[in-house]
Amino acid sequence: MVAEVIYGDQLAASLREEMKEEVTKLKASGISPKLVVVLIGDDPASKSYVSGKQKAADFIGIDSELISLPSTTEEKSLLELIERLNNDQSVHGILVQLPLPKQINEQAIIEAIDPSKDVDGFHPISIGRMLTQQETFLPCTPYGIVTMLQSKNIDIAGKHAVIVGRSNIVGKPVGQLLLNEHATVSYCHSRTKDLSAITKQADILIVAVGREKMIDASFIKPGAVVIDVGVNRTNEGTLTGDVDFESAKAVSSYITPVPKGVGPMTITMLMKNTIQAAKAHNKKK
At residue 209, φ and ψ (nearest 5 deg) are -125, -20
pLDDT band at residue 12 under the 50/70/90 scheme: very high
- 176 given a catalytic annotation: no
pTM: 0.96
Contacts 24+ apart (CB under 8 A), 87-92: 89/281, 90/32, 90/34, 91/34, 91/35, 91/36, 91/117, 92/33, 92/34, 92/35, 92/117, 92/119, 92/274, 92/277, 92/278, 92/281
From the candidates 97, 118, 176, 213, give the one annotated as an active-site residue. Answer: 97
Give the Cα separation of 241 and 164 in Å (integer).
13
108 torsion bin: left (phi>0), alpha (psi -120 to 50), beta (else): alpha
Which of 263, 188, 184 is closest to 219 using CA atoms? 188
What's the mean pLDDT in 82-109?
97
From the candidates 34, 117, 118, 120, give the one annotated as an active-site residue. Answer: 120
Give the Cα separation of 242 and 219 in Å (integer).
12
At residue 53, φ and ψ (nearest 5 deg) are -65, -40
30-114 and 140-263: identical CATH topology: yes
175: DSSP letter: H
Whether residue 209 is annotated as binding a ligand: the answer is no
pLDDT band at residue 53 under the 50/70/90 scheme: very high
Q: Residues of the chain with pLDDT > 70: what percent?
A: 100
pLDDT tens by residue, 114-123: 999 999 999 9
pLDDT tens by residue, 189-200: 989 999 999 999
- Domain 140-263 sits in CATH 3.30.450.20: no
Whether residue 231 is annotated as binding a ligand: the answer is yes
Across the chain, mean pLDDT equals 96
Domain ranges of the chain: 30-114, 140-263
- 97 given a catalytic annotation: yes
Give Cβ neighbours of residue 214 (< 8 Å, ≥ 6 apart).
164, 207, 230, 242, 243
Q: What is the pLDDT of residue 285?
A: 64
pLDDT of 232 strictly over 80: yes
Residue 278 near residue 32 (C-beta atoms within 8 A): yes
- Domain 30-114 sits in CATH 3.40.50.10860: yes
Whether residue 93 is annotated as binding a ligand: the answer is no
- Of 1-5, 122-126, 149-153, 177-181, the one with minimum mean pLDDT is 1-5
pLDDT band at residue 220 under the 50/70/90 scheme: very high
pLDDT tens by residue, 159-178: 999 999 999 999 999 999 99
Q: How many CA atoms lie within 13 A of 206 on its CB side?
A: 31
pLDDT of 44 strictly over 90: no
Whether residue 167 is annotated as binding a ligand: the answer is yes
Q: What is the pLDDT of residue 236?
A: 87
pLDDT tens by residue, 67-79: 999 999 999 999 9
From the candidates 34, 53, 117, 159, give the one annotated as an active-site residue. Answer: 53
